[in-house]
Amino acid sequence: MSDLRGLYQEVILDHSKRPRNFRVLEGANHRAEGYNPLCGDRVTIYVKLENDRIIDVAFQGSGCAISTSSASLLTESVKGKTLAEADAMFERFHALVTGEANGNQTSGVPLGKLEVFSGVAEFPLRVKCATLAWHTLRSALKDEGKTVTTE
C-alpha cells in the first residue's frame, strides 16, 4: 500500500473530490478540450489571457482522481503566471511525473503543491492522467482548436 499512498496523497484525494475552479469561465478568451481515450477522461480548460499573463483559468470534465486533481491543481498553479512561466512549469511537472532527471533547464521552477504528483512516476500508466490537463492548457494557449488526446 505504500506506493499507493505515494500516488494517492491527501492533497490529490482532496482535489479529486472537491476540484477547485471547476466551472465554465465567463469571459475566457482561450479554450481547449482534452481526451484520454484509454480511460475516457475528458477535460475542458478555459483561460482568460491578458498581455501574456493568465488572469484566470478554470476547467470542467470528468475523469479519474489523478486527472481531476491534476486539472484542479493546475488551475491554482498557473493563475497569475505568464505564458513563459506556465510553460516552464509544465516542463518541470512533466519531468516530475515521468521521473526524468532532465529538468535541468527548468529545475529552478518551484512546483509548490504540484510536488504531490511525484508518486505518479512509479505508475507509468498513469502519467497520461496527470498530464492531460497540462497538454490541454498548452493547446488552449496556442489556440490549436482541436481536441487534445493523450494517444
Partner 1 sequence: MAITPHQVTEPAARASWTKFDVERVRKDFPALDQTVHGKPLVYLDNAATSQKPLAVIEAEENFYRRDCSNIHRGVHELSERATRAYETARVKAQRFLNARDSREIVFVRGTTEAINLVAMSFGRKNIQAGDEILITAMEHHSNIVPWQILCEEKGAKLRVAPINDRGEVIFDEFEKLLGPKTRLAAVVHVSNVLGTINPVREMIEAAHRKNIPVLLDGAQAAPHLKVDVRALDCDFYAFSGHKLYGPTGIGVLYGKAELLDAMPPYQGGGDMISSVTFEKTVYNSLPYKFEAGTSNIAGGIGLGAAIDYLNRIGMENISAYEDELLAYATEAVSRIPGLKIIGTAERKAGVISFVMEGIHPHDVGTVLDQEGIAVRTGHHCAQPLMDRFGIPATTRASFAFYNTKGEVDALVAGIYKVKELLG
Task: Give the binding site for partner 1 (CB under 8 A).
Answer: 1, 3-5, 7-8, 13, 17, 38-42, 62-66, 68, 123, 125-126, 129
Nearer CB in complex with partner 1: 33/41: 41
Least distance in Å: CB of 95 to partner 1? Answer: 22
Nearer CB in complex with partner 1: 54/132: 132
69, 71, 76, 77 alpha-carbon torsion, rounded to 10°: 110
Least distance in Å: CB of 85 to partner 1? Answer: 30
29: cell is 478568451
Least distance in Å: CB of 39 to partner 1? Answer: 4
